[in-house]
Chains A and B, each alone.
Chain A
Amino acid sequence: MSGDLVQILEGNTFVVSDRNGDIEASPTDATGLFSFDTRFLSKWVLTIDGERLNALSTDDLQYFETRFFLVPGTGTVYIDAKLSVIRQRVVGQGFSEQLAILNHDDKAVALEVRLEAASDFADLFEVKDALKKKGTYSSRAERGRLVLGYKRETFERETWITASAPAKIDPNGLTFKVRVPAHGQWTTDLQVTTANAGWGANNAAPQKRRPSMARGLDKWIQKAPRLECDSDSLRATYHRSLVDLAALRFSTRTMPGRSLPAAGLPWFMTMFGRDSIFTSLQALPFTPELAATTLLALGERQGSRVDDFRDEDPGRILHELRYGELTAFEERPHSPYYGCADATPLYVVLLDEYERWTGDTKLVRGLEQEARAALNWIDEYADLQGNGYVSYRRRNEQTGLENQCWKDSWDSISYRDGTLPGFPRATCELQGYAYDAKVRGARLARKVWHDPELADRLEAEAADLKRRFNRDFWVEDEGYFAIALDVDGRQVDALTSNNGHLLWSGIVDKSKAKAVASHLLGKRLYSGWGVRTLAEGEGRYNPIGYHVGTVWPFDNSFIAWGLRRYGFKEEAARLASGILDAAQFFDGRLPEAFGGYPREMTRYPVQYPTACSPQAWSTGAPLLLLRTMLGLEPHGDHLIVDPALPRGIGHLELLDIPGRWGRIDAFGRGRVDVERK
């Protein structure tokens, strides 16, 4: 996002405006008030006596609240500094804005205050692609409010605008004739409400404003474990992660009062199977309720039929859910869209990990059918080639996704020489997730669902998958796992960070783990900040290529977990240290990705430009790294703490870690020398 734009949000409602607080969107310009993937205001411009205002300063008070300090006049020289204007905006269902005009003169002043308002009701997808609207617009003043409307068949969206002070309302805005006494002020409260037709949308009474949002944030932070440590920057990063995670919370209409992590702010404030699951896994030791809601919400929308347009199958976990007009009229498949191959096995992984931490067997019993359907999907629907491996190929060739793994750009899966394989593609990490899902599914079947037969079968299948995988994906002469098998069963043999996810899943033979770990921390993959997505020296390697050379903090957090799983404590600490060092350069807010340049070359991490910040799974990365550094692992009703901390961190305490043990504290001291050897 450009630095000149101010954004605030609550759930999936957000406002992007300029530094004056004004909104003047063009069809392709992404400013406005958005809710449920629809723009509800594309124009919101304040003038006094016909003049625009000039920003003195803008305060982002909270992620849901901003204050703009303005003066009349638009030039660099203030024509009249005897007035100042304050707009304080809070996002709720729409937003509320308190407008205050202060007269610093010793004479009263008469002013005409005007707010121009309009909406193009663009779908978020239209904002990106500049598509033409098919419905009709309306704008009318009625019963003391301005109503902006859009209607296409049964699809109706409205924006309601009211003011607490008397106003003359016309179809283009509100005008106030005001008199501000000497050294006095005039204020009005403006309320902009987004009204969706459809379910329960006799939205006649807007939900009451929530003055408690600030309190809610305090409570959220107090509920999380407390971090005490010598490292100021780690404390700051931890705090930043918790606040950003709060901002990324997203509620669905079926589960008011509960929230799950959305993928990114602001354009991805919706449910994504993969992102919501990975983030919930990262945050599990800190805020386990996110995982519970993720499991329930994704389970509720689990695929139930074969639908090519949505790439849906029975048992499949969704990729992305959207609410806008294009989705409503099936011009886009996001109602929801199911085209991803990893969320389904990862769903079972999260379910098991959640139970291991929380002991919440009630939830796991309640989701037994969903988990069984997910496990069934792996064998019944994901084995596209009949070779016992999960692979993907989209059936929706117009608007579906080509790459259904987390490295979803067009060139992310390549041979060493840079050529690209055809479809279907069986990427390696998918096999790891499938293996882990079977192992964990077996544990749940035995312990919670009391179905030892299923447990035996899953264990046998997992063992068989592991044996085949270690034979078929192992690049013998180099000592790592190929990123994929192509249609002919040939290895797509580039060296990638995916090897770390394989460690995390447990699919790697013990005898091969050391070679894999050496590659991950070796010069070709490890930049000094973190593990690159693709190794230096490969045909497509590019240090600023999205999935072909950049370093992803989320990726690294799972690689660190994988290293710990195979006993490589010091290597995990080294990885954690690099990523947490990088976080300092971004004020504790790790970006989605940064450049894969060697650390000694750039000395600071070069940010990869992306539209969304914070990104949920980057926000979760420091949390998972804390877990791996402290070596936190549930064991029965106990929590094992086995710290291996980088020396630079010094003393570290994580207090009140929630779980089946109640609350427990973990302590550690940095002893691992992480300097590159």
Chain B
Amino acid sequence: MAADPTGTFFEALAKRAHEPLLQGASGTLRWDLRNGRRTDHWYVTIAKGGVEVSRANAPADAVVRADKALFDGLATGRVNAMAALLRGAMEGDGDLGLVMSFQRLFPAPPRSVYARRIR
């Protein structure tokens, strides 16, 4: 596992010019990740499938709060975002639809098998 899966995730995301999975979404999503005593802020602005990642303060349409450790899990596929939302491990306010779109970007759980191989 990367030393900082969260950082790696956002860096990789920043490099993607276009993300078809986010085609239908638009708005700015702010992640507030509790990391020991400080809170890291990540801003993701989505417009017609284009993605911008920033750490600069900006108004957000949705804010999600979670432990950075949880986001490390999301970024590596070990944690499911929708289940985390249900159990309150992730919480927040604003446009939940934006979060639903964004969670499509999280990778598959490490041990899952591509269906065709079960033949």
Q: For A199, give its contact among B20, B92, B106, B113 (CB under 8 Å).
A: B92
Known: A202-B93, A336-B82. A308 touches B112 (CB 8 A): yes
A254 is an interface residue with CB less than 8 A from chain B: yes
Task: Give min CB distance, B28 to chain A, whole Å.
Answer: 17
Q: For A254, give its contact among B83, B92, B97, B116 (CB under 8 Å).
A: B97
Number of interface residues of A (CB under 8 A): 49
Q: Which residue on chain B has the smallest CB distance to residue A153?
A: B87
Task: Give min CB distance, B6 to chain A, whole Å.
Answer: 18
Known: A304-B21, A307-B108, A308-B112. A198 touches B85 (CB 8 A): yes
**Which of chain A's residues have a CB closer than 8 A to the CB of B21?**
304, 369
**Which of chain A's residues have a CB closer than 8 A to the CB of B54?**
none
B58 is an interface residue with CB less than 8 A from chain A: no
Q: Is the CB of B97 within 8 A of A199?
A: no
Task: Give min CB distance, A322 to chain B, whole Å.
Answer: 9
A78 is an interface residue with CB less than 8 A from chain B: no
Q: Is the CB of A154 within 8 A of B82?
A: no
State the main secondary structure of chain A at its contact with B: loop
**Which of chain A's residues have a CB closer than 8 A to the CB of B107?**
305
Q: Is the CB of A300 within 8 A of B108?
A: no
Q: Is the CB of A200 within 8 A of B20?
A: no
Return the CB mask of A196-234 against B: 1 if under 8 Å, else 0: 011111100000000000000000000000000000000
**Which of chain A's residues have a CB closer than 8 A to the CB of B23?**
368-369
State the main secondary structure of chain B at its contact with A: mixed
**Which of chain A's residues have a CB closer than 8 A to the CB of B91?**
197-199, 201
Known: A254-B96, A335-B83. A299 touches B111 (CB 8 A): no
Number of interface residues of B (CB under 8 A): 36
**Which of chain B's residues have a CB closer than 8 A to the CB of A335?**
80, 82-83, 86
A306 is an interface residue with CB less than 8 A from chain B: yes
A60 is an interface residue with CB less than 8 A from chain B: no
Known: A307-B108, A308-B109. A367 touches B88 (CB 8 A): no
Known: A328-B87, A330-B83. A307 touches B112 (CB 8 A): yes
Contacts A310-B80, A386-B119 given; 6 further ones with Cβ under 8 A?
A: A153-B89, A156-B88, A199-B85, A200-B94, A327-B83, A328-B87
Chain B residues proximal to chain A, CB less than 8 Å? 20-21, 23-24, 77, 80, 82-83, 85-89, 91-94, 96-97, 99-101, 104-109, 111-116, 118-119
> Can you report 22 A-B residue pairs in the complex whose CB atoms are below 8 A from each other?
A153-B87, A154-B87, A197-B88, A198-B87, A199-B91, A200-B92, A200-B96, A300-B97, A300-B101, A302-B104, A305-B112, A306-B112, A307-B112, A308-B113, A327-B83, A327-B86, A328-B83, A328-B86, A336-B82, A368-B23, A384-B115, A395-B112
Chain A residues proximal to chain B, CB less than 8 Å? 152-156, 197-202, 253-255, 299-302, 304-310, 313, 323-325, 327-330, 335-336, 366-370, 380-386, 393, 395
